[in-house]
Structure 1
């Protein structure tokens, strides 16, 4: 019956909360839920678990307001590298739905109050001006840049308002000190995960965390104020609960800390090290003391074969190993991994100059459960090593061969014969791979979902046509700067593959015909990069407008034949567009730019040359405009 509230009179609050928790993974759904009525808004405030904040106004006041509004927060993520969400035309009566969606955003509670004050001062301001832009500029004028950085005051607000806090991420919050972190430690006894990337936190803050909290995950990246004293104390206090530890570019953390980790963190499962101060001794001790280790990522120039042999001997549960920029270990160390880590599922070898086919063959024979392999810039690895993977690792699902000029088609042939479950293939600068290798993959690995190829100049139409005819699950295809690929390849892809992502940047043989085939055959296309296509014109954009209504991102840069007419056809059908790049398109004018902005209400980013944007467009959409070149 009209006017009757049949839901609220029947459903108790705890049942409404259960419904809300089922929506918790989607912020937009939670926001919509809270708009139904005051009761549902109250449920949202009580049971919303997570907030994420960028750099937005005086941070301390904003954080204080948010923790009072949302009393049930468990996860707080603050990243001062990120700007506020793009502009919304908050006061236009034609944008009522966008206004509502913005009102329920956590940042709006601050922005609304600040904006009212600003409008009193700036009554001449346009009604379509970005709220955050006004707030930010005015506050900078009045009190300076530091007001935008979270300080210990804001951190204390989180501590007192979020007693049940479990996860805290503070990314590049450079004004925080140990005092703020101590307040978190004393008040948030349930804290399990702490990320302090780029924060200048001292030892005393970390010592307090160890005293009061039973951490499970700790990330210390670019924490220049920490020394062995802080980390040693923390591991002594809560080492038994610690399962994940990341240390990167902390100049004062040495093997002394790793010795403490080895002694007290017997349940450690994941360790990430990026340090010039870590030597063999530290890693050997960790291998001996943390035998439950499952994930190990290393960028340590002083580690040698001796340390990797210890990992192979003691860490039999290891599932993920990533080695970056190693110049002091050889096949001997990798062979030890193959001999001892039978459960290895993921292996990354990046710029490991002294690894050859022999080491990779040892991994292939010793680690048959391998599902992911990435080889990046290891120039001594040739065809034989990858062939061994194809013969011995039938569960392989992801293969990335990056900057591997010595690998030939026979390697892909063995992969196609032995790795029938392959879903992800990435080839970059593999100059000896051609259509024959790609055809073998297409015929043997029919479950392929993602194929990225870049600067493989011998790959042409035949290989891609074979992919289109055999790989019916392919949703992500990238063929960047593959000069041999033309329209015939895209016609086959359009007929056979349900693409959602396509990148054909720099494939000069592709014309309107190929993109038309994609537009007519791939209606679920979401992201498209057709930059640097010299023979592409407005016809292709018109077809995309007709056939791809789900398109959200498009890159049109360096397409000299595209004009305002094509853009008008594109935005007529692709109304969900959120990002568009179109620099160095000489036939696009300020009129075309205005057409894109007016035709795409959800647009978040438009990259153009500054000189092409009219003053009216700047006023209407300053928050979504990005410029390749700015005035000096």
Structure 2
């Protein structure tokens, strides 16, 4: 437990105390096992019961503990208290010689405290020793780092145990002594020179310097160097006068002291002022400061900076006088005082912010920065008198001084000719009438109710103005300024603001928002690069002459007229524009539509129609029209345009992109698009999915590789023919649900020499011969729901060998008969993916020896027909889908079928399927879910990993028999299977250890 009579506490606020008793008593305490200990210039007091051992070992990264000393050779023990009372147990000199090969001293503290204070950290003997041993057991750097972190976690915080010691002028210990002669005389070489050690310690704070002082005499001397104790920070520290005197005697050259938050602040600062003759900076606050302190400032001839915050000043009458010949920086903020008089001839910065004085007198001829913000009790006359007495003033902050008048500003402008910055925000009585400040560069007038449009005359006289703030000036209706140096203007929440006219060539930042009445903006600037005018609901006239403007955001501006796009087109005043955002301007896109031959004259817009956008720009790169539902016509002639957002433009009817630099475009979100013209030399992907009324399309994209025209029901053969001729590099073409496409359009596919993917699903095709003759290198052909194809439509595939590169064929929901499907599967062995979902004419999937041999034999010459079975070729089939085939009853795929590559088989939703007999060596996935009639299941699939039997009436024994040969099965789904019990699921888990997921029951 910590001693209750601690007298000296560490100067940084750590627990401790200092005794002013005789040195003899302290020295006897050390020699007799007392509680005071020297720690490199700091005394640490602890009860003797708190002390534990501290080992000093010498070693590098693989340091080893020193050999223990037996009773016959007693060790030299020196008590050095820093961590709750610890001691160095040092061996004899003879025992240390074996460690000389290691140069760096390591301190391994066990700190085995068995009784600590309630707030002090603790550690046990076992876990700390284990941490030390884990370090000794490995020299690996990562292990060492982990172990070191563990040790640090177990060690109590050093800050809880460090106190102060006193030295005399010769550097000897006044309170407490310590004999380290044996330690320093052992001849242990350290590889840190004094200069290097000094440099390392310069990065440490006071608390860590105290910890470093416990290592050795060299470190103790280095940590106590006066260079590290120039600044004494006692903020919010409960330090006594005796402690402060001790520190000041030890470090008389200290230049900075902070006593803020000390209850005995006045007494402490008086002692500090009298003892520290080199004091340059003093910080005080949160207490009482008597008048005697301000008189004592003359005892600090070098004082340059004085900060007093949140304090009561003076004695009763609350009147103070601050006189100092060298003071340069003075802060008296949030202080309670009646009158303040400042006479400092060298003072350059003065802050009286938020103080409640009623009168202030300044005699500071060199003052250039004055802050009297929020001094509510200062009358207008006092402010005028104080400010005009500072002729060299450059910066003045009188924010929230509600008494300031125009008369005071006029006199200040005359007396302070060099005034550069003025903050008069929240001063309701000023209007700047007849105020002239020609050198002003920064002017802030936020929430000044007297500022109106007439005030702009006075502001315009400030020809050097760079920053102007007019936020919350509710009576301001218009701003018209021509200031050559203005770079920053802020107009926020000006409710009655209507018109903005700026001719400011250096304007680079404009903060304009929440001005609901604003309807006209005119800006001329050569420095403005980004302009954001969010949610200006009334803005309908915009004129910009900004030759370097690159980004414009007009989101939610609902009243723009049709001339806005002229501003952003070539010749409109923004030649470098790269990004334009017009999101959610539902009624605001009123633009001069650039005439194009394909646009009907009825589409020409009046000034109030708000339905078209037309841009002609050589620099525009990005355009966003998201949420603009009123747009019906779009014409873009922007050769550098790379990105267009049209989300929500669901009324767009006519679109022209001639030319543009985009690489991809999605117009599928424009369901009413009827006419399209695209000329994009760099475009590779075009999506027209869902443009159901698109009947006129001219697409000239020589690098186009992917075209999705799904559900373009009005797209005809002539459009397709023109597109294939102008886009010869198309590789993927999707014409799903394009019923108007016929044989002529398909014949034009011969232009596409690279076409590999063709989707003709949900069309009315009756003849595939144009596809077979034009697309010889197809790898994917989708013919879903092509119900007008007869049974002979695919004979060319398996009889004539057309489309030899075909790998994926989708015939789902078709009308092909059973025999046609069987012949296709038997002869087209190069197919890898086949989909037969929903084929009603498919009854069985039997690849047994008899049927397959018949189809193979039919392909041979008649003279080769024998009674011998035909050897079947290997199949490339990998994925077979027969989902929802209502008439299929039996699936038989034996090993003789040579489906050695089949890995996925999906037969789900086949309600009449009764028997499945599959022998595929590489099958991994089998789905039989919702096959309600399934009774027989035979599997010879050693690599099967997933089996889905959801909602099947199959019993447990059949399933167990079927999966007996599936040694690596991981997933089994038997949910909603009425013949399965939870016991069966548990049984499967026990019998088949490879099962990781078994789903059963109704979940």
Q: TM-score with structure 2 length normalisation? A: 0.32
Q: Based on CA coordinates, which of the two structures has the bigger radius of gyration?
A: 2
The structure that is helix-richer by fraction is 1
Higher relative contact order (CA 8 A, sep 6+): 1
The structure that is strand-richer by fraction is 2
